[in-house]
Amino acid sequence: MADGSFSDSGGEDMNIGAILAALAGLAIAAQVVVNTLGIRYLGVGALIGVSGVATAIAGFAVALFSHPEFTARATLWAIVSGVLGAFILGAIVLAAGRAGLAQTLSLVIASQLIAGLLIDRTGLFGPAAADFGLLKVFGVALILAGGLLVVRS
């Protein structure tokens, strides 16, 4: 779709979405390792600052080609996103340094799944997108069980 969203109407859109999600998961794991190495030299604050500058440069480079509308509301969402991103980066790096990468990512993924289901079901940020089906709940339960096994071992 032209707006970058994914729809249920075409299998190709969903396949692209699945590929992007899988690549993002790989990138998150790599980013945690890179951030853990960077924190040794920069500390949490400077790592977040340098990472934020790199993110801003990349984002503005993409924006040059997409011609976004800079409204007050859109800018507020971007600021909230940046603050959340800084928190996420710092929290994951600190947790991975203490508990290890696998345990940290297991807990991050588990909490994302639960939050994602609730957000989708309640329509917190838009219309409700998905119902809780038995298979979906079972799938999340299996992933959570796997995460618990990683955390406890």
Give percent of the chain above pLDDT 90.
Answer: 18
What's the mean per-residue pLDDT of the chain?
A: 83
What is the C-alpha to C-alpha distance for residues 99 and 151, in angstroms, rounded to an integer? 9
pLDDT tens readout for residues 134-153: 888 888 888 888 888 887 87
> Looking at the domain assignment, is residue 111 inside a domain?
no
Our count of domains for the chain comes to 1
> Looking at the domain assignment, is residue 5 inside a domain?
yes
Domain that holds residue 58: 1-70
pLDDT tens readout for residues 3-29: 444 444 556 666 888 888 889 889 988
In 9-42, which positions are buried (b, 16+ CB within 10 angstroms) versus exposed (e)?
A: eeeeeeeeeeeeeeeeeeeeeebbeebbebbeee
Residue 9, pLDDT score: 52
What does the pLDDT average to over 112-133? 78
> Looking at the domain assignment, is residue 123 inside a domain?
no
pLDDT tens readout for residues 75-97: 898 899 989 988 998 898 888 88
> Looking at the domain assignment, is residue 90 inside a domain?
no
pLDDT tens readout for residues 15-74: 888 888 889 889 988 988 898 899 999 999 999 999 999 999 999 899 888 888 889 988
Per-residue confidence at 1, pLDDT binned at 50, 70, 90?
very low
Residue at 111: amino acid letter: S
What is the C-alpha to C-alpha distance for residues 72 and 89, in angstroms, rounded to an integer? 25
52: nearest Cα among 77, 26, 22, 84:
84
Residue 53, pLDDT score: 94
> Looking at the domain assignment, is residue 66 inside a domain?
yes
> Looking at the domain assignment, is residue 109 inside a domain?
no
> Looking at the domain assignment, is residue 2 inside a domain?
yes
